[in-house]
Amino acid sequence: MKLGIIGLTQSGKSTAIFALTGQTPGAAGLVGKHQAVVPVPDERLDALFQIYPRDRRVPATVEFIDYGEIPRDSSAYWANVRLADALVHVVAGFDPVSREERDSSALRAAYNELNAELAVSDLDIIERRRDKLSKQIKRPTKTQDQDLEELALLERMLEAENAGGSFADVEMSDSEAKLLRSFQLLTRKPELVLLNLSENAWSNRGEIKAAFPENVQFIEMCAIIEVELGQLEESERGEFAELYEIAEPVGPRAITAAYGVSGSIRFYTVGKDEVRAWTIPAGLSAKEAAAKVHTDMAKGFIRAKTIAFDDLSAHGSEKAAKEKGLVRLEGKDYRVADGDVLEFHFSK
Ligand SMILES: Nc1nc2c(ncn2[C@@H]2O[C@H](COP(=O)(O)OP(=O)(O)O)[C@@H](O)[C@H]2O)c(=O)[nH]1
Ligand SMILES: [Mg+2]
């Protein structure tokens, strides 16, 4: 899963990526672009590794990307951000210049300021495509029916935007949503807000959180404190975390929240050498999940031996779970559930 970190200048994006990943800034410090791949903390995988001792334990990974500052000519910048599966939008709880704490209306304004830029970038993409399709439909082509459907959708979106609405709120059918998928619209991407509070405001975080819009998924942190926490020796972390009342570091918290906002789940496989976690969008079929592991497994898919992690864990072994009838054989259309342990049977 690719998580794109966006935010206004000086909101704390670069500090955040070090807080999120526990990595240490290099010689360039906070300046410029950064990216880091981190393993997903996974207690289920740890438990599976106990049940099935193998050579390796391979966790799922998350890639965090800090794209640096938005350049004046921003089209290439946003094109890059479009490749992310979800956005992590850093909003500073303080004014970056005066360092004063932001009240609820200033917080909202800062949040909306960047969202307006996302909308401008999406508008550009939608208008270009609308103009192209308007010409294309004048001549009969093989794709004319689909082009007409797409054009109608784009017109509807432009109207909604014109009337002061957001692209994100335009309702659409599944087939329309599918048409739109390749646009990778920024305003329709899953978004997690990282509210970056100053050290002074940290103890007051409950109140500040309450001031933030309700429909927005967010978690709060103090990036500077979290960076410090990440750089301490293991043995010193407990006391420091207690002092600042940090129940769980921001990295794992953000990863869990990102799975939530993006509707992603994990399934597990146990091979000869490794026990492994895989990230997929919720709703995939067993055959689609198999394709994630290997295309041959999807092509020759026969069935998936399936055990829910909770059942396996409750009974301690596959054998015990089987005796209780908890090991299932599922077909290609089975909807994979979070925590499923799958063994794909396929013909070569
Ligand atoms: N005091 C304080 N300063 C912060 C915090 N987070 C970021 N900053 C400072 O704000 C400035 C901008 O941070 P940076 O991560 O470079 O922001 P970016 O422009 O969004 O990448 C830097 O001087 C940071 O040290 C924080 O939690 N507390
Ligand atoms: Mg930066």
Domains of the chain in sequence order: 283-346 (3.10.20.30)
Question: Is residue 201 over pLDDT 90?
Answer: no
Q: 149, 125 in Cβ contact below 8 A?
A: no
Helix/strand/coil for 335: strand
Place of tokens 């794109």: 4
DSSP 165-179: --GGG----HHHHHH
Burial string for 115-127 (b: 16+ CB within 10 Å, else e) reads: bebbbebbbebbe
* pLDDT, position 21: 94
How far is the centre of ligand 2, averaged over its atoms, from the C-alpha of 290 (Å)?
Answer: 38
Question: Is residue 216 over pLDDT 90?
Answer: no
* pLDDT, position 24: 85
* pLDDT, position 215: 82
- Decide: 224 in ligand 1 pocket, CB within 6 A: yes
- C-alpha distances in angstroms, 119 versus 34, 67, 185, 315? 24, 18, 9, 51
Interatomic CA distance for residues 7 and 22, integer angstroms: 20
* pLDDT, position 158: 97
Probe residue for ligand 1, chosen from 6, 17, 23, 30 as the CB with the greatest number of ligand atoms within 8 Å: 30
Chain mean pLDDT for the chain = 94
* pLDDT, position 319: 96
Question: Is residue 332 over pLDDT 90?
Answer: yes
Cα torsion through 198, 202, 205, 208, rounded to 10: -30
- State the closest ligand 1 atom to the C-alpha of 66, by its place in the atom list counted from 1: 21
Q: 99, 224 in Cβ contact below 8 A?
A: no
Q: 157, 127 in Cβ contact below 8 A?
A: no
210: pLDDT confidence band, cut at 50, 70 and 90? confident
- State the closest ligand 1 atom to the C-alpha of 30, by its place in the atom list counted from 1: 16
DSSP 176-213: HHHHHHTT--GGGS-EEEEEE--HHHHTTHHHHHHTS-
130 contacts: CB under 8 Å, gap ≥ 6:
151, 154, 155, 158
Ligand with smallest separation from the Cα of 13: 1
How far is the centre of ligand 1, averaged over its atoms, from the C-alpha of 15 (Å)?
Answer: 6
Probe residue for ligand 1, chosen from 9, 10, 199, 225 as the CB with the greatest number of ligand atoms within 8 Å: 10
Question: Is residue 211 over pLDDT 80?
Answer: no
Q: 179, 150 in Cβ contact below 8 A?
A: yes
Interatomic CA distance for residues 82 and 100, integer angstroms: 33
Global pTM reads: 0.93
- Decide: 14 in ligand 1 pocket, CB within 6 A: yes
Question: Is residue 29 over pLDDT 90?
Answer: no
- State the closest ligand 1 atom to the C-alpha of 197, by its place in the atom list counted from 1: 27
* pLDDT, position 200: 87
How far is the centre of ligand 2, averaged over its atoms, from the C-alpha of 106 (Å)?
Answer: 21
How far is the centre of ligand 2, averaged over its atoms, from the C-alpha of 278 (Å)?
Answer: 31
- Decide: 7 in ligand 1 pocket, CB within 6 A: yes
How far is the centre of ligand 1, averaged over its atoms, from the C-alpha of 198 (Å)?
Answer: 9
How far is the centre of ligand 1, averaged over its atoms, from the C-alpha of 13 (Å)?
Answer: 7
The stretch 35-50 carries a mean pLDDT of: 97
Q: 284, 305 in Cβ contact below 8 A?
A: no
Low-confidence winner among 12-16, 173-177, 271-275 (lowest mean pLDDT): 173-177
Hey, whose CA ends up nearest to atom 13 of ligand 1? 12
* pLDDT, position 2: 97
Per-residue pLDDT tens digits for 307-319: 999 999 999 999 9
- Decide: 198 in ligand 1 pocket, CB within 6 A: yes
The stretch 190-205 carries a mean pLDDT of: 91
Specify which residues 4 forms β-bridges with.
Answer: 65, 87
Cα torsion through 122, 125, 130, 132, rounded to 10: 180
Question: Is residue 203 over pLDDT 90?
Answer: no
Interatomic CA distance for residues 131 and 146, integer angstroms: 15
* pLDDT, position 339: 98
Question: Is residue 214 over pLDDT 80?
Answer: no
* pLDDT, position 78: 97
Question: Is residue 213 over pLDDT 80?
Answer: no
H or E element at residue 288: helix 286-293
Interatomic CA distance for residues 197 and 71, integer angstroms: 26
